[in-house]
Structure 1
Amino acid sequence: MLLGVNIFNRINSIKYQFQVLYELQKNNINQYDPNDSSFIFIGGHQSTGTGLMRILLDIHPLVRCGPEPIVTRELLRYRRHLDTMSDLLSQSGITENVLDDASAAFIATVIQEMGPKAPRLCHKDPSSFIYLEELADMFPKAKFIHMIRDGRAAIASTIQ
């Protein structure tokens, strides 16, 4: 009896998720705002399970992860470098908020254009997680998943 109830609850959960997806598609929800909570960032050290987490999230009908957008890592590195020139930039009228907004818009556009539209977009790049503070400033309502694994297992996985 308990198994039947569990299966029934799972089926209802899946039906609900597809109903939400149908409503979103029916209402043509395809505009993304970097300040909303539709972004998920996955990061961590190499071989900690970030790829597996991306696959698991990508299976969900409301989430799209896609491949690793390498260009965002370079933008984040350059954005951090611009902090050292803040005095010069502020004299030109370019504030930190302007840089954050422009960087967030670029990253959001890259993630959006890498695949089909979805209510929740995922960015998986283990090495960009060293820019967690910048990402949190640019996407204040985003969700962050930091993968951690026993170092011995991560090294063994990398060697294989």
Structure 2
Amino acid sequence: MRRLIAQLARFGVVGAVGFVVDTTVFNVLRITVLDPDEVHSGPFWAKVISTVVAIFVNWMGNRYWTFREQRRAVATREGIEFVVVSLGGMVIALACLGVSHYVMGLTSVLADNVANIVGLVLGTVFRFWLYKVWVYHPERTGSEPVATDVAHEGRALDSTG
């Protein structure tokens, strides 16, 4: 249980960094080159670009920190699976933005950011679950999680004297 909590905390930190990257890139693009007054689908494309950048940042953080004990020796398949799951999270975020901006007509910067945050939260839950049970699952990565519960620690202490 402590291992899961620590992993969730690391995932949260990586996610927070990814959130800052995503939100910053989204807003910079939305208010400059992809301003909806100039490019009708600007917020949509700003979200796609910001998500792609954040996916890369998150993969590096999760591969080398959150799920470091379970990462694969060869990163190619893991990276592809990570991107697939992350794109699923992006679809969730884009759906929230699309409904808010294009269906409900809430087109202000604030409304786009609220929709972005709602989408990121829903996408985060989706991604963590699939990273845990699919991308970095110990049976798929060939590694077993490091035991950190009290019973295992007690045995380790007994064997050292």
Same fold (TM over 0.5): no
More helix by share: 2
Q: TM-score, normalised by structure 2?
A: 0.31
More strand by share: 1
